[in-house]
Structure 1
Amino acid sequence: MSLTLPGSLVTTEWLAAHLDAPGLVLLDGSFTMPGVTPTAAENYRERHIPGARFFDIEKVADHASSLPHMLPSAEAFEAVARRLGLSNDSVVVIYDTPGLVSAGRVWWTLRVFGHEKIAVLDGGLRKWRAEGRPVTAEIPTPAEGTFRAAFHPELVRSRADMLQNLGTKAEQVIDARAASRFTAAENEPRPGLRSGHIPGSFNLPSSSLTDPETGEILKPETLKTLFENAGLDLSRPVAATCGSGVTASALAFSLHLIGNDNVAVYDGSWSEWGLPGDTPVATGPSGEEEKAGAGEKA
Structure 2
Amino acid sequence: MKTSALVSCEWLQKNLDTENQVILDATFFLPKQRRNAKKEFQQQHLPGAHFFDIDEVADLSNTLSHMLPKADYFSSAVGKMGISNNTLVLIYDNNHFFAAARVWWMFRVFGHNHVHIIDGGQTRWRQLNYPMSSEQPTSITKKFKAQYCSELVFNLKQMKFVLTNKSRQIIDARSTDSYLGQRRLAETTLQPGHIPGSINIPYAHLMDSTQKTLFSDQTLQSLFEHAHINLSNPIVTTCGSGVSAAVLALALYQSGCKDIPVYDGSWAEWGRQVDTPKHTKKLHER
Q: TM-score range by the shorter chain?
A: over 0.9
Distance 2:20 2:86 in 1: 8
Q: Is the 8 Å Cα contact of residues 4 and 254 (structure 2) preserved in structure 1?
A: no
- AA partner of residue 147 (structure 2): A
**Local SS of the residue matching 1:93:** strand
**Local SS of the residue matching 1:77:** helix
Distance 1:37 1:218 in 2: 28
Matches within 5 A, 1:1-298: 7-34=4-31, 36-188=33-185, 190-285=187-282, 288=285
* Greater alpha carbon shift after TM alignment, 182-191 vs 78-87: 182-191
**Local SS of the residue matching 2:195:** coil
Distance 2:273 2:184 in 1: 14
Q: Give 1:130 deviation, angstroms.
A: 1.4
Q: Give 1:187 deviation, angstroms.
A: 2.4
* Greater alpha carbon shift after TM alignment, 191-200 vs 168-177: 191-200
* Greater alpha carbon shift after TM alignment, 124-133 vs 186-195: 186-195
**Local SS of the residue matching 2:261:** strand
Are residues 196 and 151 of structure 1, via their aligned partners in 2, closer, same or farther at CA, if it must alter by over 3 Å? same
- AA partner of residue 215 (structure 1): K
TM-score, normalisation: structure 2: 0.96
Distance 2:283 2:231 in 1: 17
Distance 2:199 2:254 in 1: 19
Are residues 96 and 175 of structure 1, via their aligned partners in 2, closer, same or farther at CA, if it must alter by over 3 Å? same
Distance 2:59 2:140 in 1: 25
Q: Is the 8 Å Cα contact of residues 29 and 95 (structure 2) preserved in structure 1?
A: no
- AA partner of residue 274 (structure 1): G
Distance 2:37 2:29 in 1: 6
Are residues 36 and 191 of structure 1, via their aligned partners in 2, closer, same or farther at CA, if it must alter by over 3 Å? farther
Distance 2:273 2:160 in 1: 15
Q: Is the 8 Å Cα contact of residues 112 and 152 (structure 1) preserved in structure 2?
A: yes
Distance 1:51 1:87 in 2: 17
- AA partner of residue 32 (structure 1): F
Q: Give 1:51 deviation, angstroms.
A: 0.4
Q: Identity over the aligned pairs, expressed in percent? A: 40
- AA partner of residue 262 (structure 1): D
Distance 1:83 1:107 in 2: 18
Distance 1:114 1:189 in 2: 36
Count of residue pairs brought into register by the alignment: 284
Distance 2:186 2:130 in 1: 35
- AA partner of residue 204 (structure 2): S
- AA partner of residue 146 (structure 2): A
Q: Is the 8 Å Cα contact of residues 98 and 215 (structure 1) preserved in structure 2?
A: no
Distance 2:219 2:107 in 1: 26
Q: Is the 8 Å Cα contact of residues 27 and 99 (structure 2) preserved in structure 1?
A: yes
> Who is 1:293 aligned against?
none
Distance 2:223 2:142 in 1: 39
RMSD: 1.4
Q: Give 1:182 deviation, angstroms.
A: 0.5
Are residues 155 and 286 of structure 1, via their aligned partners in 2, closer, same or farther at CA, if it must alter by over 3 Å? farther
Are residues 72 and 162 of structure 1, via their aligned partners in 2, closer, same or farther at CA, if it must alter by over 3 Å? same
**Local SS of the residue matching 1:119:** strand
- AA partner of residue 154 (structure 2): R
Distance 2:59 2:261 in 1: 19
